[in-house]
């Protein structure tokens, strides 16, 4: 088969192979387009499934890790920066569990980034945040009903 629309056919004029696959786990019928004509259908479906796992991993990275930009573009530099960010995320999760904190990992990372160069126990930094947020909320909160 070939792409029929003008711009897609102009961008990719070569023939393509259409593969249909039924995923028994999700009960979904999937359709893939590929330019591999020699690989078996199941292999193509497994390759797409692995690629989807990579996409889900990078979606998780974008949502949870604080990587604003990559400082190096070589594969080694990107891998190193991702591993460092994952290590920091795991350390924050361990800290949260060990100190039995109710704050989200994002909030914990924000607190640590603000108090990075202050000499104070970690538990004190988190307790100050809790008391400050309670005080600030009660002073600035307007009452809708007089009860």
Please give the pLDDT value at position 29.
92
Specify if 39 maps to a domain: yes
Specify if 89 maps to a domain: yes
Specify if 75 maps to a domain: yes
Report d(CA 24, CA 21) in Å as an integer. Answer: 9
Please give the pLDDT value at position 94.
93
Looking at the structure, tell me whether residues 45 and 88 fall in a common domain. Answer: no
Looking at the structure, tell me whether residues 50 and 83 fall in a common domain. Answer: no
Specify if 140 maps to a domain: no
Residue 29, strand partner residues: 22
Specify if 70 maps to a domain: yes
Looking at the structure, tell me whether residues 84 and 112 fall in a common domain. Answer: yes
pTM (2 d.p.): 0.53
Which domain covers residue 19, as residue numbers?
A: 6-57
Specify if 127 maps to a domain: no
Please give the pLDDT value at position 142.
62
Question: Distance from first CA to last CA of the chain, Å, rounded?
Answer: 71
Name every residue whose Cβ is closer than 8 Å to that of residue 17 and which is 6 or more positions away in sequence: 1, 33, 34, 35, 36, 37
Two tokens, residue 81: 């920066």
* Maximum CA extent, the chain: 75
Specify if 143 maps to a domain: no
Report d(CA 34, CA 138) in Å as an integer. Answer: 60
Specify if 31 maps to a domain: yes
Domain boundary among 32, 57, 82: 57
Please give the pLDDT value at position 134.
47
Number of domains in the chain: 2
Please give the pLDDT value at position 136.
46
Mean pLDDT (10-residue bins), the chain, 147 residues: 82 89 88 90 89 88 82 91 91 90 85 82 73 50 63
Please give the pLDDT value at position 74.
93
DSSP H or E stretch at residue 19:
strand 17-23
Of 112, 106, 139, 136, the residue nearest 126 (C-alpha): 112
């Amino acid at each position: 088969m070939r792409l029929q629309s003008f711009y897609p056919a102009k961008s990719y004029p070569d023939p393509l192979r259409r593969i249909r696959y039924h995923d028994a786990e999700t009960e979904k019928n999937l359709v893939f387009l590929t330019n591999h004509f020699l690989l078996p259908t199941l292999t193509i479906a497994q390759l797409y499934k692995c690629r989807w796992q990579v996409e889900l991993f990078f979606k998780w990275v974008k949502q949870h890790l604080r990587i604003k930009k990559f400082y190096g573009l070589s594969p080694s530099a990107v891998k190193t920066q991702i591993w460092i960010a994952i290590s920091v995320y795991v350390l924050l999760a361990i800290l949260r569990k060990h100190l039995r904190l109710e704050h989200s990992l994002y909030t914990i990372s924000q607190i640590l980034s603000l108090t990075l160069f202050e000499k104070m126990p970690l538990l004190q930094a988190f307790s100050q945040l809790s008391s400050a947020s309670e005080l600030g909320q009660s002073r600035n909160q307007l009452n809708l009903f007089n009860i």
